[in-house]
Amino acid sequence: MAKHDLVIIGAGPGGYVAAIRAAQLGFSVGIVEKEETLGGTCVRVGCIPSKALLESSERYAEIQDKFKEHGIEVSAVNLNLKTLLGRKNKVVKANTDGVAFLMKKNKIAVYKGLGEITAPGNVTVHSKEAETSLEAEKIIIATGSSVASIPGVSPDGELITTSNEAIDYQEVPGHLVVIGGGVIGLELGSVWKRLGAKVTVLEYFDTILPGMDSEIAKDALKIFKKQGLEFQLGARVKGVSSDGKSCTIEIDGKDAIKADRVLVATGRKPNTEGLGLEKLGLALDKRGRIPVDEHFETSIKSIYAIGDVIPGPMLAHKAEEDGVACVELIKTGVGHVDYNLVPAIVYTHPEIASVGQTEEQLKEAGIAYNKGVFPYMANGRARALGETDGKVKILADTKTDRVLGVHIIGVSAGDLIAETVTAMTFGASSEDIARTIHAHPTLAEIVKEAALSVHGNALHI
Ligand code: NAD
């Protein structure tokens, strides 16, 4: 029986990063993964392939819509979807190979198969070829999440699809209906719209991106409509059927619609099946997540859980931070993740990024705040880029001026937010950001100007 100080089940961003940190701290580590390649949903079928597709489809859209104004005339633009998907697959392979390399470099033993915790300190790895028993002082569950559908909708992997298939459609659908105006719906809806599909997004709430700052969500809706995406808000999908050629989507109180393909993007659920939790007596919460204490320890001593299987946003970077903190807590007793400062990014064009509290949350909590807003339109670099849609909004405490939330819609929002996350991590005031020198001409100046604008001192407007 192989023995390790630590066995991690799941080699996604939470699990593999925890494994690396544990190896750095001197643990003997084993990691169990049921898929052929390492990296989890994010690397194999999530963040990485979708970003590759977003990049290719953005270039395709740009060459048709934006080159002309630069004086670049292109006579014929053809889409070679096979090459585009092939490039995406290469990007994924480089990343999964990269994770495998990191495991090797850090002398982490990789076990391929389904990990089951048979008792505290014991993991059995079930694979087609063999059953391997592992002994471990500590076990971390990092099994991530998978697509959650809704009542009346059963994805068949053919015409009724999830993000797993929507990163690999072999032809551009004529009409793609996306159920859910959340992150996946908007990112993958954008990809297929740019590649030529008619895309209709059906969203249950009266807003897309529910939970995001509502001013930014409204701006986003306007921009996406301008790009040709179609929306039905307040549309609760109650059923989807397929006759093998097309799909019919039933919407509560509205006319049914037809589509060539459906993408179900209504959220994800924690992966806890097959882990042996029931036999261990490890109870889940109402939403199927594993409850943990502030040290990531479950109700069973020496079994820990991190990432999408525990409460908190289902985001790769949150899972990574969980993983590092969990391992450091095991080793040193010290480790921390600030869940108020987990940035969230939607990789549409333009990007949408946020950190901290929204205006709605501040109002609900009765916290008085000042608001500074600066539009991309007033920034020289944005004009030179031809990317003038969007704004940066900074919310700061009225009494202390401490930054409480930052919300950005605009090109490179995902990169611009990083500065403000760092500032907020250090407890910065809006004046701290406003008095920091930002190079000219950069988009980062929009952040500075928004901070200046918190006290009415913006310069370029
Ligand atoms: P989501 O929760 O972001 O959005 C789901 C949407 O579906 C919601 O707006 C919801 O109101 C809507 N919905 C639910 N039931 C419906 C119904 N019956 N009819 C119509 N609409 C309905 O979920 P997602 O987009 O599937 O993403 C899943 C998870 O993956 C999220 O936690 C997300 O944060 C994460 N993710 C993150 C990124 C990123 O960080 N860029 C990218 C992809 C996924």
Q: Tens digit of pLDDT for each residue in 407-446?
A: 999 999 999 999 999 999 999 999 999 999 999 999 999 9
**113 and 51 within one domain:** yes
Let me know: does 397 contact 369? Beta carbons within 8 Å. Answer: yes
Residue type, 122: N
The Cα 306–Cα 240 span in angstroms is 34
Atom of ligand 1 nearest to the CA of 153: 18
- pLDDT for 402: 98
Coil/strand/helix, residue 164:
helix
Ligand 1: residue whose CA is nearest its atom 44: 184
**403 and 333 within one domain:** no
* Residue to substitute in 183, 190, 238, 287 for testing ligand 1 pocket (most ligand atoms within 8 angstroms of CB): 183
Q: What residues does ligand 1 touch, defined as CB less than 6 Å away?
A: 150, 179-185, 187, 202-205, 210, 235-237, 265-268, 314-315, 345-347
Cis peptide leading into residue 49 (ω within 30°): no
The Cα 381–Cα 375 span in angstroms is 12
The single residue listed with the structure tokens 């990317």 is 387
Q: Give the DSSP letter of residue 268.
A: E
**109 and 41 within one domain:** yes
Atom of ligand 1 nearest to the CA of 205: 11
Exposure of 231 in the CB half-sphere (CA atoms within 13 A): 24
**74 and 55 within one domain:** yes
**199 and 241 within one domain:** yes
Q: Which of 145, 144, 152 is closest to 269 using CA atoms?
A: 145
**126 and 84 within one domain:** yes
What backbone phi and psi angles, to 5 degrees, belong to 439? -60, 150
Residue type, 67: F
Confidence band for 1, pLDDT divided at 50, 70 and 90: confident
**169 and 124 within one domain:** no
The reply to whether 316 falls in a domain is: yes
Q: What is the number of structural domains in the chain?
A: 3
How many other C-beta atoms are found inside a 10 Å radius of the C-beta of residue 128?
6
**86 and 60 within one domain:** yes
- pLDDT for 259: 98
Mean pLDDT, rounded, for 346-370 = 98
Average pLDDT, the chain: 98
Atom of ligand 1 nearest to the CA of 209: 9
Mean pLDDT, rounded, for 381-399 = 98
Phi-psi region for residue 228, left (φ > 0), alpha (ψ -120 to 50) or beta? left
- pLDDT for 133: 98
pTM of model > 0.75: yes
Pick the last residue of a domain from 266, 295, 321: 266
**207 and 195 within one domain:** yes
Write the CB contacts of 207 (distance below 8 Å, at least 6 apart in sequence): 181, 214, 217, 218, 221, 233
Report CA(47)–ligand 1 centroid distance (Å): 14
List the domain range (segments joined by +) for residue 21: 2-146+269-339
User: Would you say residue 91 has pLDDT above 90?
Assistant: yes
**192 and 87 within one domain:** no
The reply to whether 151 falls in a domain is: no
User: Would you say residue 187 has pLDDT above 90?
Assistant: yes
